[in-house]
Amino acid sequence: MADIVAGFCLPHDPLMASSPKINEQAKADIVFEAFEDVNRRIQALDVDTVIVIGSDHYTNFGPHCLPQYLIAVGDADGPVEPWLGIERYPVPVDTALATHIMDFGFDHGFDWAVAKDITLDHGTMIPIHLAAKPQQTGIKSIPVYTAAGVEPLLRSRRAYEVGQMIGKAVATYDGATRVAILGTGGISHWVGTAEMGKVNESFDRLVLDKVMAGDVEALIAMSDEYLIETAGNGSLEIRNWIMAMGAVGATGAELICYEPIPEWICGMGVVDLKLSA
């Protein structure tokens, strides 16, 4: 039986790759070190596969087709954005486990959209590249994309349910795979709007407090209107954190770092989720 042995929430800010040097370098370095810390924790737990939950940014998907939630089950490479400064490379996908999760969903009321071959954007590639580091570790990925940035948005409640389903699917997998869940994005940020560069630290700390208390219902209760008004359209990505909390049955979390970084247009939070017994 496969096991979820860890879960993390962390940003997928593309500016970490494209603009690693900023005026407030000490704050940036704390975030980079937090990603290194996540990588060390993953390796210490002998993780074989990371399930990486990220948002589409109107990059992979367009007005012709907008999945609510999608799982990549075949080949993947990335990143798609040349401006990230990361040379595109093949990303190893755990196709057997991904296919099992896909089928488990189909059999339990979750109609996944499916990618058989996909070039990943920063929404999954930043955490894969900087936290899983497949080129060095050989850790496989299962990219999951959510409608967390482009309307119509995945409902937060449904995000939680999809997460729970992922957790059950992993538990019913025959392989002896050790799995970590990465819920990515957020926290406060305004993407492409006139306010871009603003960060709402008090909101970010409220979200972190709720995650550390294991109070996922408080996060689900945050309406999209409230999120956009209070913490920008980028904060809608906390549904990726909610999905991760659902997958691991999070009862709380350890804060690894939080840094508000206007130059990276984002409140950068990294947490290690406490798993349910």
Partner 1 sequence: MSVNAVERILWEFGNNPELIGRFRSSPDGYLSSYHVTDEEKRALLETDLKALAEQGVSTLLTMSVWPMLNGPEGMPFAYLEHMNGGELKAPPGA
Nearest distance from C-beta of residue 83 to partner 1, angstroms: 8
**Range 99-128, binding partner 1 (CB under 8 A):** none
Q: Is 196 in the site for partner 1 (CB under 8 A)?
A: yes
Q: Which stretch binds partner 1 (CB under 8 A): 38-46, 90-98, 242-250, 261-269?
A: 261-269
Q: Is 235 in the site for partner 1 (CB under 8 A)?
A: no
Nearest distance from C-beta of residue 187 to partner 1, angstroms: 16
Q: Is 11 in the site for partner 1 (CB under 8 A)?
A: no
Q: Is 191 in the site for partner 1 (CB under 8 A)?
A: yes
Name, in order, each residue with C-beta under 8 angstroms of 240's C-beta and a sequence gap of 6 or more: 9, 53, 54, 55, 146, 148, 159, 183, 184, 185, 186
Radius of gyration for the chain, computed over Cα atoms and rounded to the nearest angstrom = 17
Which amino acid makes up residue 232?
Answer: G
Q: Say if CB 267 and CB 201 are below 8 A apart.
A: yes
Cα dihedral 214, 133, 143, 120 sign? positive
Nearest to 240 by CA among 12, 3, 6, 4: 12
151, 152, 176, 277: which one binds partner 1 (CB under 8 A): 151
Q: Is 197 in the site for partner 1 (CB under 8 A)?
A: yes
Q: 59 or 240: whose CB is closer to partner 1? A: 59
The DSSP secondary-structure symbol of 213 reads T
Q: Which residues bind partner 1 (CB under 8 A)?
A: 22-24, 57-59, 62-64, 83, 149-151, 191-194, 196-197, 233, 262-263, 265
